[in-house]
Amino acid sequence: MGPLHGIKVVEMSGIGPAPFCAMVLADLGAEVIRIVRPGTAVDPRDVLSRSRPTVEVDISGTEGQASVLDLIEQADILIEGYRPGVMEKNGLGPLECHRRNPRLIYGRMTGWGQFGPLAHAAGHDINYIAITGALNSIGRRDETPPPPINFVGDFGGGGMLLLVGLLAALHEVKASGLGQVIDAAMSDGTSLLSAFIHGLKAQGHWSNERASNLLDGAAPFYDTYRCADGRFVAIGAIEPKFYQELRDRCGLEGSLFDEQMNPNSWASQKQALSGIIASRTRDEWCTLLEGTDACFAPVLDWDEAPMHAHNLARETFVTVQDVLHPAPAPRFSRTAPQVPQAPYAMSLDQVMHRWSAASKSH
């Protein structure tokens, strides 16, 4: 059933972080209704839309607004990811929603937040993480910061931050009886994710220069390397005993590798290690290092990852109607989430009947 069984969520359809947050809520057992514009096709390959019905509603008209408010009256949570003011323009802002349902938790997902000089400007993940310092820290020295996949801003600093806020408010409403607005900004969330780096910088252990720090590619024992077959491996042997394991198994002999934490030795150590790694294929390195305390892993692509033995053993991926999905996470000992469903369409009348029946049963 999932630990959030019985929780009702209205999701105003969007892209990226808000649907991801709604997906996780649905994975964990909440009943999520996804509101989309009329004529929006349901794509069974859309992983972010899984495990919840899609309902077509025109929120620009009074009839559609009234229908959404009827749903909101019964909901525990609302999620929206529009620019500030769009929900208010359509008669669905926090004031209108809380008049109908004072206990409603109103989750707002934006890049810049609900206020501030940039609040109404367009942007994407790369922009939101740029003003936090995070983007400047990614990449190789003397190169421009590369456009990263949108894990940091959209999904970590965005969708996950919104999820934490919603669950915290869901706990608090039990005591107060009152809902509240969650202003989740990707720029705020990315800054929060950077707390560890700010701590290291305050202690004098982190430089602004890319690829000059322990964890950003400067250290030879914490980087990726090309193998003889053109594929890559990842090494992360930070602790001395793990570094020694790496040395023993890879034959890193001689005084060159003695001073692990001396940054002045890193460039020559990395050059030597690169040559050693390039002498064998990725599979050969897996045979030698995988599963040991050398802190090693092969760098897998999207097709290889689901077939890795560890992911297979943990059933980290599942197939739903011939579409590969990451399985719900984390794991629960009693209230295990159900296997995801492909997204599907439902009429507004069907949703209202379902929610009304559920309310009577409780």
Which H or E element spans position 324?
A: strand 323-326
Domains of the chain as residue ranges with CATH: 8-193+328-361 (3.40.50.10540), 222-309 (3.30.1540.10)
3-state secondary structure at position 217: coil
Crossing angle of helices 186-193 and 161-176, in 10° steps, is 100
The active-site residue, picked from 46, 70, 98, 124, is 124
Q: Stretch 119-143: mean pLDDT, rounded?
A: 97
The predicted structure's pLDDT at residue 1: 87
Ramachandran sector of residue 315 (left: φ over 0; alpha: ψ -120 to 50; beta: rest): left
Question: How confident is the model over 238-286, as pLDDT tens digits?
Answer: 999 999 999 999 999 999 999 999 999 999 999 999 999 999 999 999 9
Q: What is the DSSP letter of 135?
A: G
- pLDDT class for 356, splitting at 50, 70, 90? confident
Which H or E element spans position 319?
A: strand 317-320
Produce one character per residue of 56-65: b if its CB has 16 or more CB atoms within 10 Å, e if not: bbbbeeeebb
Q: Is 98 a catalytic residue?
A: no
Task: Compute the C-alpha angle 54/58/62, nearest 5°.
Answer: 135
Q: Is 171 a catalytic residue?
A: no
- pLDDT class for 70, splitting at 50, 70, 90? very high
The active-site residue, picked from 154, 188, 216, 223, is 154
